[in-house]
Structure 1
Amino acid sequence: MPGRVQPRQLALALPHAESLTRDNFLEGPANASGLALIDGWPEWPNRIMLLVGPEGAGKSHLAAIWAEQAGARSISAHALTPAAVPGALATGALVVEDLNSPDFDERALFHLMNLAREDQAFVLITARLAPSASHVELRDLRSRLRAVPTISLLPPDDALFRALIVKFCADRQMAIDESVVSYLATRLERSYAAVRQAVELLDTEALRLGRPVTRALAAELLRDA
């Protein structure tokens, strides 16, 4: 009909589930030490281990793999309370996610570390920063954390970086070709978070505009990013 306004396509914020299985984990030099830790359980150098790395580096993925192997429960650091500690350690293995959360209960974590040692439970703690770079008020907890062996995940090398682009696009069922991968690999900051944000932007805008994900679209969207 002449003059009729075409409806605008809306980009719906639908959840995108990522597979956190061992088979779906992208291996590379940057995360080799973390993967070795998980594969080496229960022969750990200490029953409490700290896994440190930047946002998106795969800490939660590795923790999920270990939790499946060890029958571990999982709790975020900010949700941990003194009353919750005994139940959290009930299976003898626990993942504590995001130690750098600004509002976690330091006394609850100290209690957990003491009880884990008494019960000989395994605990895997994830954090973006090492304890030496974190602000912990409780002196005894600060000392205890600094004594925990730390495994660090590093920024991705070129091969892993390109593989991450492909994986994050596949997680969103986005069809891309090599030209898009190459453009993103040379344009983006070399970080896990940058890849995730760029792929989310491409997916959202391609849906909103009704366009395929091409190098040209990527260039338009990321030119001023």
Structure 2
Amino acid sequence: MSQLPLELPQRPALGRGDFLVTSSNEAAVAWIDRWPDWPSVALALVGPAGSGKSHLAEVWHDLSGARPVTVADLSRQPADRLLDRSAALLLEDAEAALGPEDEEALLHLYNLLAERGGHLLLTARQAPKRWNLRLPDLASRLATATVAELGPPDDALLQAVLVKLFADRQLQVGAELVEFLQRRIPRSFAAAQTVVAAIDRRALAERRRITIAVARAALAEAAGALDALET
């Protein structure tokens, strides 16, 4: 008899030692490790959803003591107040819903960071030059940002990510199952997250250990969601 799986939140490990480094992200990792010796005020971590931007940003946050801010914070709080405890700021999903007031506030914040020798780490899906900014002065400032791209995972990284995602859920799987999945899912972190969650739900619902048969059934069940990730 099937058990109804509960949608409990999963807390991934986000330490520096948990970040998996391969050729697809080693350049971005090098820029994080190079801080505070950056050539410009801002560094933009750019990559698709689930590519590890937030994980790497968390590593930098721990390293630098940066203050995390949101797009909403930009226009709600004066730049001086945002910088009253740190000369380093972290702004995730930076290209999302930047309105005119947000752009003005971000420009002021950038200028103040430049005056104080501070730094700004941005995460986004696209480089700042593709953000369709309305404010020319902000566009010119962000055009000087160093862009560090996190690319699609290679085979080794995708397998390592699958192992880590299962481990984050306190699940142990064998190499054969990991290789089976790596050959059958789209080459993206989002796909890995989707399929691991689907396998976990199915194994829990059926009260079975995770096998290739369970994984095959979960893949079929998640086919629509995986196809949507590729569009």
> Could you tell me the TM-score, scaled by structure 1's length?
0.90
Q: Deviations over 1:24-43 (max 9, x none)?
A: 11111111111111111111
Q: Is residue 198–residue 219 contact of structure 2 (8 Å, CA) maintained in 1?
A: no
Match of 1:141 in 2: 138
Structure 1: gaps of 5 or more residues: 1-5
Please list, as runs of the form range in 1=range in 2, the aligned pairs for 1:71-150 lying within 5 A after superposition: 71-81=65-75, 83-90=77-84, 91-103=86-98, 105-150=102-147
Q: State the alpha-carbon separation in 1 of the partners of residues 185 and 7 from structure 2.
A: 23
Match of 2:57 in 1: 63
Q: State the alpha-carbon separation in 2 of the partners of residues 210 and 197 from structure 1.
A: 20
Given residue 188 of structure 2, which amino acid in structure 1 is its aligned partner? Answer: S
Q: State the alpha-carbon separation in 2 of the partners of residues 110 and 217 from structure 1.
A: 52
Identical residues among aligned pairs (%): 41
1:78 CA displacement = 4.0
Aligned length: 219
Q: State the alpha-carbon separation in 2 of the partners of residues 141 and 161 from structure 1.
A: 36
Structural RMSD (CA): 1.7
Q: Is residue 89–residue 121 contact of structure 1 (8 Å, CA) maintained in 2?
A: no
Asked which structure has the greater CA Rg, the reply is 1
Q: Is residue 82–residue 111 contact of structure 1 (8 Å, CA) maintained in 2?
A: no
1:71 CA displacement = 1.1
Q: State the alpha-carbon separation in 1 of the partners of residues 82 and 194 from structure 2.
A: 33
Q: State the alpha-carbon separation in 2 of the partners of residues 106 and 198 from structure 1.
A: 38
* 1:207 to 1:49, Cα distance in 2 relative to 1, 3 A: same
Please point out which of 156, 162, 170 is paired with 1:165.
162
* 1:28 to 1:205, Cα distance in 2 relative to 1, 3 A: same
Q: Is residue 41–residue 145 contact of structure 2 (8 Å, CA) maintained in 1?
A: no
Which deviates more from structure 2 when the two are superposed, residues 163-172 or residues 111-120? Answer: 111-120
> Could you tell me the TM-score, scaled by structure 2's length?
0.88
Q: Provide the secondary structure at the position in 1 that maps to 2:24.
A: helix
Q: Does residue 39 of structure 2 align to residue 45 of structure 1?
A: yes
Match of 1:3 in 2: none
